Structure 1
Amino acid sequence: MHFDLGYMLTLFAMPAFWKASLTVVELSGLAWLFAVVLGFPLACARMSGARMLRVPAALYIWLFRSLPLLVLIVFVYNMPQLLPATGGVLSNPFISALIALALTETAYMAEIHRGALLSVAKGQYEAAAALGIRPVGTQRLVILPQALRIALPTLGNQFVSCVKLTSLASVISLSELLLVGERLYAQNFLVMETLLACAIYYVLIVTVFGWAMKYVEHRMNTAGRKPATMSAEQVATLRGTLPAPAAAAAPASGKGAPPALALKGLHKRYGEHHVLKGIDLDVRAGEVVSIIGPSGSGKTSLIRTINALERIDGGEIILFGNTFITATDRADIPRVRRGVKDIGMVFQGFNLFPHRTILENVTLAPNYHGRGGRALTAARALALLDKVGLLAHAHKYPHQLSGGQQQRVAIARALAMEPAIMLFDEPTSALDPELVGDVLAVIGKLAREGMTMVIVTHEMDFAMSISDRIAFMEGGTVQLFASPAEIRQQPGAGRVRRFIGLGDAPCGDAGAVASIAPLAPVVPVAAPVAAERAA
C-alpha cells in the first residue's frame, strides 16, 4: 500500500478539519485560562497557615491529579443520570469536556503556582508589608507578577498538554481533530495520511501558541533590557521641574512631649529560644539612636518588632504616646501606615521589587495609598531619587544598579511615604566597603534634617559620630543606653568600649576624635553630624 500524499494535502483545505482545529483551540485555551486563574487562589490556600483552607486545597489537588482525565470526562458527561437538572448544560459535549479538563488542569496549575510563589523571596512580602500594602495588594502588585514570570515557561508547557488532552474528548463525540480524522479513515481506510494531517494541525496550533508565549516572555524579561541612563542635560532639565522633597516629619518634641517611640518590657521568643528579654527603650522625636552589639544579641529581632514584622510575646510598643502593638495584638500595619505617625523601613538586603523600575519602586506605595495623583507622586519620587543622587537612573531596574545604589533607592522608597520614624536594619552589611560611604552619607543627611531614626549597625565609627544615643545589646537585653560621650568617658562602659575598639579605660575627647578620624575621608557628611545636632 502506497502513501497517498495528494489526499493528505487535500485535508488542509477541508472545512471540517479547520472547524475541528478551532474547537481544539477554544477547548484547550479556555480550560488553560480557567486553570491559570483558579489555580492561583488554590495555591494560596494550599500554602495558607489556616488548616481549614490548606487541607481542602490539598485534597482537591490530590484527587484531581489522581483521576484519569478520560474517566473524569465520561463521568461529567454522564452526570445528568445522577443529577437530571444538569442535563441542559452537561449534555453539551464541549461544556462537559471543558469542565473536566479545567478541573484536572487547575490541580496541576495550583502546584505550578505554588512552586513559583515559593520562589519569590520572603523579603518581597516584608517590603510590601513595611510599605503598608495589604495582603491582596501585595499579591496583585508585588508577588503575582514575579511568580508569573517564574512560572511562565511551565504554564506554556501545560497549555501544550491541554492541546493534546483535548483528543480524549472524542469519547463523548466532541467533533475535535481526532474524531474528525477517525470518521474519515473509517470511510476510506487511509489511516496514515489522515493521522499525519491531524498531527500537523496539532503542531501548527502548538507552534502559534509557542510564538505568542515567547513574545510574552520577552516582554516580561527585565533582565534583557538595556540600562536607561539619563544624560546630564536631561537630568538638569528634569531637576528644574521637580518639587522640593518633603522635609522630615517634626512632631512635638518639647518638654513634656511623649517620646516618638517607647518600648516597654519587650519579649520575643522563637520556640524555646528567648531572644528579647524585657527590652525598655525610648527614642525622642528628632533623635538618632543606634543599636549595636555582637551577633545574636537580638538587634534585628528588636527592630523588626518595632515595625510589626515580628510578633512580640510580651510588653508594649508605643508611638508618640499611643499604643501601637501589644503582645495580644497582631497589629493592623496598613491601618497604622495610613495614620500620621508612619514608620519607614530600610532592609539589610534592599528588598527592591525586581520587576519594577527604580521610579516605580518609589511610587508604588504612594499610588497604592492614594497620596496624590500619579503625576504628583512621580514628581515627588524623582525629587527623592535626586536627593539620594540617583535621578539619572530613575528608569533602570534594580539589577542594573550597584548594591550601594540599590540601598539608596530603598531609602528613597521608604521616604516616599513621608514617615515620622525611619528604621534601618544593618543598611551597609550587604555592601562592598567601597559602597558603604554613599549610603552612610544619605543617612547622615537625614540625621541633620531632624529625621527620627533607629539604626541597627556594625559601623561603629559611624554610630559614634551620628548618634544622639547608642543602645548596646547583649544576650537579649540592653546592657547600656547612653550618648557617645558617656560611652567614651563612663567607667562602667568598658565592655562597650572594648566592643567598638576604644579599649577598656575611659577616653577623653582627643581619643574619641582619633577613633573616628579614619571615617572622615569615606563619609564626609557623617563626622560633623553629632556636633551639629548637639549645637
Structure 2
Amino acid sequence: MQFDWSYFFSLFSLPSFWHACVTVVQLSALAWFIGMLLGFLLASAKLSSAAWLRTPAALYIWFFRSIPLLVLVVFVYNLPQLFPATGSVLSNPFYSGLFALVVTEAAYMAEIHRGGLISVAKGQKEAGRALGIGLVGLQRLIVIPQAFRISLPTLINEYITVVKLTSLISVISLTELLTVGQRLYAQNFLVMETLAAVAVYYVLIVTLFAWLLQRLERHLDLNLRTPQTLDDAGTEWLRQQAQPLHARPRPTAVAGSAPALQLQNIHKRYGDHQVLKGVDLNVASGQVISIIGPSGSGKTSLIRTINGLERIDQGEIVLFGNSFISAGDNLNSPQVREGVRHIGMVFQNFNLFPHRCILDNICLAPRYHGSSKALSEQQAYALLDKVGLLAHAHKYPHQLSGGQQQRVAIARALAMEPQIMLFDEPTSALDPELVGDVLNVIRDLAREGMTMLIVTHEMDFALSISDRVIFMEGGNIQLDASPRAIREEEAGERVRRFMGLEQPSATALAAAL
C-alpha cells in the first residue's frame, strides 16, 4: 500500500487540526507554568530546615513521580464519582487533563528547581545578609534570579516533555491532536498518513516554543553580553551625576563614650570543635585593627560573628553601647538586621551578585532599605569613582579582574554608609599584582577615620596601617598590641616569628626540640 501524499498534505488545511493545536498549546503552557510555580514552592519546602514543611514536600514528590500519568489522568477524570462536587470542573476533559499534568509536573519541576536553588553559592546569601536584606528579600532579589537562570535549560526541556505528554489526555477524549487523528483514521483507515501529520504538528509546536524559550535563555546568559567600558566623556558625565558622599550619623551611644564595638566573652563551636574560647575585645571609633594568626586560629569566625553570619554560643556583642547580639538570638530578627546595616563586610571571594551589573550591585541594598533609585545611583557613581572604577559601572562582575571585583565589593559595602568595616582576608584570592589597588582603597578608608577590623596575611600592610594588631592562636587573643610594640618589645617575639620578622633564637629552638 503506497503512502498517500496528497491526503497527507491536505491534513494541514483541516481546521480541526489547527483547533487541536491551540488546545495542545493552551494545555501544555498552563501545565508548564503552573507546575513551575508549584514546583518552586515544593522545592523551597523540601530545602526547609523545618520538618513539618520538608517531610510532606518530599512525600509529595516521591508519590507523584511514581504514578504513571495515564493512570492519574483516568483517576482524576473519574474523581467526580467519589466527590460529586468536583463534577462541574473535572467532568471537562481539558480541566481534568490540566489538573493531572500540573500535579505530575509540579513533582518533577520541584527537583529541577531544587537543583537550581542548591547551586546558588552560599556566599551569595551571606553577602545579602551582610547588607541587612531579610529572608524574603534574599530569595526575591538574589537567590531566585540566579536559580532560575541555572534551571532554565532543564525547564525548557521539561516544556517539550509536557507538549508530548498532552497526547495521553486523548484517553479521556479531549479534542487534541492525537484524538483528531484517531477519529480520522478510524473513518478512512489511512493510519500512517494521519499519524505522520500528527507528528509534524507536534514537531512544529515544539520547535516554535523551544526557539522562543531558547531566545529567553540567550537573553539571560550574561556571558553573551559585551563588556561596556565607558570612554572619558561618558565617565565625566557620570562623575557629574554623582552624589557627594556624606558620613552616616552614628547610632546614639550610652553616656561615657562607649566603644564602637565590644565583644564580651565570645564562645563559638562547630560540633565538638571550639573555635572561639572566650574572646574579649573593645574597638574604639576610628581605630584600625588587624587580626592575624595561623590558619584555624578563629580569625574569620570572629568577624563573622560580629555581623551575624555565625551564631555565638556564649557571650554578647555590643554595638555603640547598645546590645546587638547575644547567645541564642535569632540572627534574622529585625534588631539584628538593623545593627548589621551599621557594619560593612568585604569577603575573601568578593561574593558580588553575578546576575546584576556593577551599578546594580552597589544600588541593591540601599534601594531595598528605602533609598530612591536616583539617589542610590548617584551615590553608587560617587563610590565607583572613589575606588577608581567609574568607567566600568555597566559591566558585570565576570567581566572584571579579581582586584576590580574586590574594589566593587568595598564600594557595595560602603553604599550602606556603615560605621564599621570588616575585611575577611580581602587580598588572599588575588594575584600579587592586583593586591596593591585593593590595599590602597583600604588605606584611604583608614585616613578618613573609618573603624575597621581586617583579617589579613599581608603582614607589612597590617603593621603600616593598624592602630592595634590582634594575634590569635587556638581560639584566643594571645596578643593585643600596637605595631611599635610588636616590632620592639619582648612581648611581640612570638608575633615577629609568625610574621617572619626575626629568626627564632637558639634558646627557643632548643626548647622546641
State the TM-score, normalizing by the size of structure 1.
0.92
Task: Report what 1:105 is aligned to.
Answer: 105
**Alpha-carbon distance, 1:335 to partner:** 4.1
Is there any run of 5+ residues in structure 2 with no aligned partner, and where?
506-513
- How far did residue 390 of structure 1 move? 0.3
- 1:246 offset after TM fit, Å? 2.6
Instruction: Classify the secondary structure of the residue corresponding to 1:48.
Output: coil
After TM superposition, the structure 1 = structure 2 runs for residues 61-460 of structure 1, keeping only pairs within 5 Å, are 61-247=61-247, 256-332=256-332, 335-338=335-338, 342-371=342-371, 373-460=372-459
The alpha carbon displacement at 1:337 in A equals 4.1
Q: Show CA shifts across 1:183-220 (max 9, x none).
A: 00000000000000000000000000111012101110
Contact 2:31/2:162 (8 A) holds in 1: yes
Q: Percent identity?
A: 67
Counterparts in 2 of 1:483 and 1:173: CA distance versus 1, 3 Å = same
Which letter maps to 1:344?
G
2:509 is matched with none
Structure-2 change in CA distance of 1:140 and 1:340 (3 Å)? closer
Cα deviation code 1:375-433 (max 9, x no counterpart): 11101101100000000000000000000000000000000011111110000000000
Aligned-partner Cα distance in 2 for 1:254–1:504 = 46
Q: CA deviation at 1:132?
A: 1.0
| Whole-angstrom distance in 2 between the partners of 1:446 and 1:427 | 14
Q: Which moved more, 1:245-254 or 1:208-217?
A: 245-254
Report how far residue 489 of structure 1 moved.
2.4
CA shift at 1:247, angstroms?
3.2
What displacement does 1:232 show?
1.1
Q: Classify 1:505/1:492 alpha carbon distance in 2 versus 1 (closer, same or farther; 3 Å).
A: farther
Any conservation in 1 of the 2:134–2:337 contact (CA below 8 Å)? Answer: no
Matches of 1:262 and 1:199 in 2, distance apart? 72
The aligned amino acid for 1:468 is D
* Deviation readout 1:3-50 (Å, 9 max, x if unpaired): 111111111110100011111000010000001111111101111111
Name the CA shift for 1:341/1:133 in 2 (closer, same or farther; >3 Å).
Answer: closer
Check the 8 A contact 2:116/2:148 in 1, yes or no.
yes
Is 1:20–2:20 an aligned residue pair?
A: yes
* Matched-pair contact (CA < 8 Å) for 1:38–1:106: yes
Contact 1:358–1:395 (8 Å) recurs in 2 = yes
The separation in 1 between residues aligned to 2:252 and 2:86, in whole angstroms, is: 68
- Which amino acid in the other structure matches residue 66 of structure 2? S
CA distance in 1, matches of 2:202, 2:121: 38
Q: Distance in 1 between matches of 2:378 and 2:213?
A: 35
Give a deviation string over 1:78-98, Cα, whole Å, max 9, x none: 111111111111111100100
What is the rounded CA distance, in whole Å, between the counterparts of 2:351 and 2:341 in structure 1? 23
For 2:192 and 2:373, how far apart are their aligned partners in 1?
A: 61
Distance 1:156 1:341, change over 3 A: closer
- SS of alignment partner, residue 422 of structure 1: strand
How many residues were matched structurally? 505
Distance 1:84 1:241 in 2: 66
Structure 2 contact 132–340 (Cα < 8 Å) conserved: no
Instruction: Supply the distance in 2 between the matched residues of 1:315 and 1:349 (Cα, whole angstroms).
Output: 29
User: Which amino acid is the alignment partner of residue 400 of structure 1?
Assistant: Q
Does structure 1 residue 493 correspond to structure 2 residue 492? yes
SS at 2:241 equivalent: coil
8 Å contact kept, 1:250–1:450 = no
- Secondary structure of the residue that 2:315 maps to in structure 1? strand
Q: Secondary structure at 2:311's aligned position in 1? A: coil
8 Å Cα contact 2:133-2:365 kept in structure 1: yes
Q: TM-score, normalised by structure 2?
A: 0.96
Residue type at the aligned position of 1:61: I
* Residue 300 of structure 1: how far off its partner (Å): 0.5
Whether the 8 Å CA contact 2:443–2:465 is kept in 1: the answer is yes
Give the conservation status (yes or no) of the 8 Å contact 2:259–2:283. yes
Amino acid paired to 1:378: E
Taking the aligned partners of 1:170 and 1:114, their CA distance within structure 2 comes to: 32
- Distance apart, 1:248 and its partner CA: 6.4
Q: Judge conservation of contact 2:290–2:455 (CA < 8 Å) in 1.
A: yes
1:226 to partner: Cα distance: 0.7
